[in-house]
Every structure is written in C-alpha cells, then in structure tokens.
Amino acid sequence: MDFIFMLTRHDRTVEDAEDLVDAVCDLGVGHVGFKDVGVGTATMARLAERIRGRGAVCYLEVVSTTPQSVAASLAAAAALGVDCVLGGTDLDAAQRTLGRLDGYFPFPGRPVGHPTRLDGTPEDVEADARRARARGCPGVDLLAFRATQADPLALVRAARRGLGDGRLIVAGSVHCAAQIRDLAAAGADAFTIGSAVFDGTFSPTKGSLRSQVVDILDACRAAAEVAG
C-alpha cells in the first residue's frame, strides 16, 4: 500500500510546494505529486526535477475539465517528463499527447466540477477500469470518496474487478486511518493525501506536517499488514 503525498490543498498545488519536497522525502515518502492548477509551468518543472532528484516517483494529477484545458495539461505533463499522469478520461487524447499510455492513470466514472466530484455507478467504474487496462493503461485513479451516486468502497471493489492485476490508486478526501484500512481491504494499491496533511485533519491532535506524514505512513503499513 503506497502513500502518494500530494503537494496540494483543496485541489490546488500549494505555492510553497518546492520547500516541502525534501522534508517529506526525508520522512520516507517515496511517491510525491502535484496538480496542474495553483502554480505556473516553471514551478511545476522545478517540482518535477526536485522530486525525481530525491529518487521519488513523480505524479501530476490533471484536474482540468474542458477538452482544451485537459489537452494543455497533458501536454504540460509530457513536457515535464513526470513518471505518472493521473486524471482525465479521454484515452485517445492522452495517447496522442503522451505518445503511450503506460504511465497514464485515467479517472473511471464521470468526474465533474472543481473541486472534483465523481458521478457513476460501480458498473460504470468497472467498465471504465477494464477499458483502460485494455488500452494499455497500468491502472486508474479513482475518486472514491468524492462519489455522488455510490458507496465509495463499492466503487473501489468494482475498479479492482475491472483492473485485474492493474494498479488502483484512490485519490481525494482520504483523511483518516480507518479509510486507509478499508481501502487496503477493498483492493486499493495506493492512495493520495494532500489537504488532510496541510489542514492537520489526519491527526487533529498534532500540529506539525511531520507528525501528519509519519502517522499516515504508520497507518499505511498497518493497513497493509491487516490486508495481508
């Protein structure tokens, strides 16, 4: 079970994200990402370089919604050379822009708005996950806890069925150890957290970024042990 630390708060990359990469990597975080809103292209380029320089896997999550803005975000991801691109739903556009889909994790279901919510049934999510794998994607990025029409864990289990042995990342609104435990049991391989660190809501009795991150890593390890 991997913890992907997102340098984001309320679906926007925080302005001081560059200052945080070394701190979280020093704590043992090996997966770090940011979103395509909140900071400019030059800052994103420096973030990607710093994350890769620390030996961490670098993620860019696309939260644009119009076809034109999604295309621009995918082009930025290609130029940045990030390891993994998360989000979006247009596999054809992603393949045209990225060249191949082996680092692309689309959203299954129907993401809407910003902050993003997720419409769609478990059947929709399963079908989208299966389609993504058939096209060559390594997995999907599921907004399970942003669901508007289904139980979040039902969506996780549905995505797991559709993916087979593909990689299932759960993004958005993960904020406690119980959720991490439930995700592991339902078949998730990784999850993202950003706002719950910066807001201090993962461990509300503790005040530092370090304490939040350490507690998330501990919860991640414990969930993986329970899930077997």
* CATH classification at residue 67: 3.20.20.70
The closest alpha carbon to 50, from 24, 26, 22, belongs to 22
Instruction: Give the range of the structural domain holding residue 69, as residue numbers without chain letter.
Output: 2-227
Residue bearing tokens 């957290």: 193
CB of 63 closer than 8 Å to CB of 37? yes
The pTM of the full predicted model, rounded to 2 decimals, is 0.95
Question: For strand 139-142 and strand 167-170, is the pairing parallel, antiparallel, or unpaired?
Answer: parallel
Q: What is the pLDDT of residue 228?
A: 65
Phi and psi dihedrals of 14, rounded to 5? -75, 150
Count of the separate structural domains present in the chain: 1
**Long-range interactions of 221-225: CB distance < 8 A, separation 24+:** 221/1, 222/177, 222/181, 223/1, 223/177, 223/180, 223/181, 223/183, 223/184, 223/185, 224/1, 224/184
Residue 159: which H helix or E strand, with range? helix 152-163
CB of 3 closer than 8 Å to CB of 179? no
Ordered per-residue pLDDT tens for the chain, 228 residues: 999 999 999 889 999 999 999 999 999 999 999 998 889 989 999 999 999 999 999 999 987 777 788 888 899 899 999 999 999 999 999 999 999 999 999 999 998 877 788 999 999 999 999 999 999 999 999 999 999 999 999 999 999 999 999 999 999 899 999 999 999 999 999 999 999 999 999 999 999 999 999 999 999 999 988 776
